Structures are given as structure tokens and as C-alpha cells.
Structure 1
Amino acid sequence: MRKDLRVTTVLAVANQKGGVAKTTTVASLGAALSALGQRVLVVDLDPQGCLTFSLGHNPDRLERSVNEVLAGDLDAVDAVLKTDDGMDLLPATIDLAGAEALLLMRPGREFALKRALSPLLGSYDVIIIDCPPSLGVLTLNGLTAAQSVLVPLQCETLAHRGVGQLLRTVREVQAITNPDLVLLGALPTLYDARTTHSRDVLADVSDRYSLAVLAPPIPRTVKFAEASASGATVLAGRKNKGADAYRELADNLVKHWAGNEVVTFAPELAL
């Protein structure tokens, strides 16, 4: 892969709670950034391979994946796949489930992904890491390799229960393996603007943890499930509100990485 003078932004998307549209966010944001002219690599760190599948590749049929990369048996560039949405993919297979045990026996285990991605820095504008729904060594690798972390947050009662634990993990990573890691904030997902409940949940999380809530909130729509089943992102289909939200988020993040303030959402002011 040709190296150039690109300055690469590495973003981890993490939440140990499942069902919060984490993988949907990685895929859709990656596609939206690609549409803006950014060269994007998405990294699937989840042994379930949901990101890999949602981008049109069958994890059960792949011989090369991030598992071999983390094990040191393969250079990351040799495992990268193309996708129909314009971004590149470092895929996952079920074999990644064994990587946790392998990495635990190695010194510097939290730095395996950072070392593996190092040769790719400069070849991409943005690398987005889809962390697994846990706080194990794979997520620690994602947070250690990243410059910033985004937390998808489902707008429902008790959504904050996992946030505190994740934020403690982020602080530990900042203290031990990645002092430059920046917490961008929470991204509201499955948001229903018609209810006060969604706004109340976001306001509670924002107040409780002094956590920025990013704009725009991602609305609840069946289009996300339909897109995942088809092996493409929601941006590939007809115009819809979910795709529009991720396009706006991508635009906001590109401006933020260029030096502007991150755009936040004020749930108490939403109508």
C-alpha cells in the first residue's frame, strides 16, 4: 500500500453494552466519511464479525483476518479487504475469540493492535475501530491504539449503567497505556424525538458523568436492520433519516478534526 503524507485520525467506538448500534455506527460513519472524500479503514475487533458481515464479507469464509494480525503471523495490510461502500475493512472471524487468551500471555498485550496498525498510519485519513461489547483485552487494545473514543448510547432507561464502568476503563487506559486518549463523548442512538423519555435519558447521562452528547442524535429506523442484512450500509439505499444523521455526524467530525469545536446536542432544548 502506497504511503503518503496523510495525517491519520484513529477513532475507537466502544460500549460494553450490546444492542446500542455500535457496529451500525462504525459502518455508517465510515461510509459517510468515505463519501466526503476521506480514505477510511474500519477495523472489526468483535469475534462475532458483525461489522465484517454487514459490509458484505462472510467471516466463515475468510482465511485472513485481524486475528492473524494480532498474533503476529500476518501484516495488517495483507488482511485488508475492499467494500462496496468505499472504505477498507480489516475483518474479524470467530478465531478472534481465542486472541484474548493468546494476548493475555504476552507482555505489552494492550499494544498489539497499535503496533499492527502503525504501518498503515499515513495511508488513511481515518481508522475506526469497532470494539467488542466487553471490557476485555481486545477493547483495551482498541482504546490503546486510538486517539479518541466515541460511545454510542441507546436512549433508554438504565442506559447509564454501563457508562460509568466504561469511563473508568477509559481513565485507566489514559493513566497507563494511552495518556493522549480523548473522550469525544456519547452519541445518542435509537433516538425517538417524539418522546421526552429519550431526552431525559440523555440529560441524565450528561449531568451524571459530565459527558458531552454529540450531534446529531441517530434516529430509530428499520433501515439499519435492512441495510445490515443486505451486506451494505444504510447510506447505500434510498434517502432516509438515519443516513442523513450519519452524514451530518461525519461532516461535524471532519470539521472537528480540522480544529473546530465538536458539535454537541442539547437534549433539554430538543423538540
Structure 2
Amino acid sequence: MRRALAILAGLIVAVALWEGYKAVGSPDGTVLFGVRILPRADDLSMPHLWTVAQRLGRPELAGGDPVWLVVLRACLFTLGITAAGFVAGAVVGLLLAMAMQRFRIVERGLLPYVILSQTVPLVALAPLVAGWGGSIMPAWATVAVIAAYLAFFPIAVGMLRGLQSPSASGAELMRSYAAGWWRTLVKLRFPAALPYLFPALRLAGAAAVVGAVVGEISTGTRGGIGRLIIEYSREATSDPAKVYTAMLGAALLGLLVAGAVSLLEVPLMRHRRHVEVVTL
């Protein structure tokens, strides 16, 4: 109940800020020293939220499906790509974390490149991935690769930190039991890494959504919410609320993925707390 009330309060604050700025803001934006620091408050740049809600219920085109249905289908298409990229990124991130924890030389040699990989602009990388894999992979798989590229990094770094979190005394205790690396990983390091893993998974889920949307835009993949944003932005001058319907769909998709990871966290963390209580 407390979390639900916090979410509701956050939505109310966001709506109040949007409509409040639109009511008092300048149609030309707020300019300071010749630089616009706040957006324009006219109807073309910031339509009323109820206008966006009404646009969701009207047909996309004359006699066509309502906008909310079109946005929903596009979000489901992107959700499938996001799921594929998230799973691939999670597997790669977990394997890298285990390898870096097991071999110190791998950590020293690989971790800087893992960090460096995230400095490459995604808009520059996406066309390259599409060019490399366009002849051997379908368009959706290319976008999934881009999503996995963003998803693996927080999982690799977070899981590595979690696997290294057990105390030296705990590792020495497992060694005294003649436990090998794999048994120590399963019995000690992996349970200790769960509090680090799930925040990383939530970040990876949001990053996978961003990667999928940007990948759809960069590669021209049709059917997803990223392509829908581009198509609706062409009508921004005549139908500005329509652009925000696609943006709203992309935002809700990111929240859905993060919420799904949080649901996965509940039973596992509850089991971990139960094990800790029994151990104590």
C-alpha cells in the first residue's frame, strides 16, 4: 500500500508540474543568457495531458484503429525484442561476471573494455550492427543484439560486485569444508550477490528498452514503438498530441519491464531472508 501510494503521489506531482508549467510558462520558453533552459509552453510543444488522453481514444487514421490499440501492438512487438535482448544480455553479463570473479587476470584484462564499451554512442553503433548482421539475421534479431549490448553491462558489473561481496571468513569456511569453486559459487557467492543482482537487472531491463527503441529507429525496423515515434513525429505540427501517445507507450513499456524484474525479485529475496533467519 505504501508503494502504491508513493507511485500515485509521484504521478500527481508529475501532472501538476506539467500543467502548472504550461499555465505559467512562456509560449517561447524560458531563455537565460540566450539559451533556452525550459521548453515552450504552447500547445504544439506541450499539449494538455487530457488532450493526449483524448487522442489515445480517437482513430489513428480516418476509419482506422484507435491510437491506443496501435500503440499497444507496437509496444508488444518491442517487448518481444526487448525480452530477447534482455535474456541474451543477462546471460552474457552473468558469464562475464563469473569469469572475472574466478580469474583475476580476466578481471584486470576485460573489465576496462567492458566499461569502455558503454562509451560508444548507440546511434553510431546501431547502423554498424545492422550492416554486419543484416545479411544473416532478421531485422528484429539485429535490434535484439543492440538491446543486449546495453543490457549486459549493468548485470556484469553488478554481479561481479555481488560475487566479490562475501567476507574472507566465509570463503575460508567453505575452503575448510573442501568446497570447490563451483560449490562455493552456488552456496556462498551467488546468494550473497542477489541484493546486487536485482538492481542491476532493473537497470538492464530499462537499458534493453532504450536499446530496442533506438535500434528500431536507427535500423528502420517496422512494427515497434521506436518506429511509431518517428512516424508520429512527422505529424507533430498538425497533431502534437499524437507524438506523446507513442512516447507514453515507450515509457510504460520501460516501467513494465522493470516491474516484471521486481516481481521476480520477491520470491527469491524472501527465500534468501528465510535462509538467513534459519542460519541465525
TM-score, normalising length: structure 1: 0.25
TM-score by length of 2: 0.25
* Bigger Cα Rg: 2
Larger RCO of the pair (alpha carbons < 8 Å, separation 6+): 1
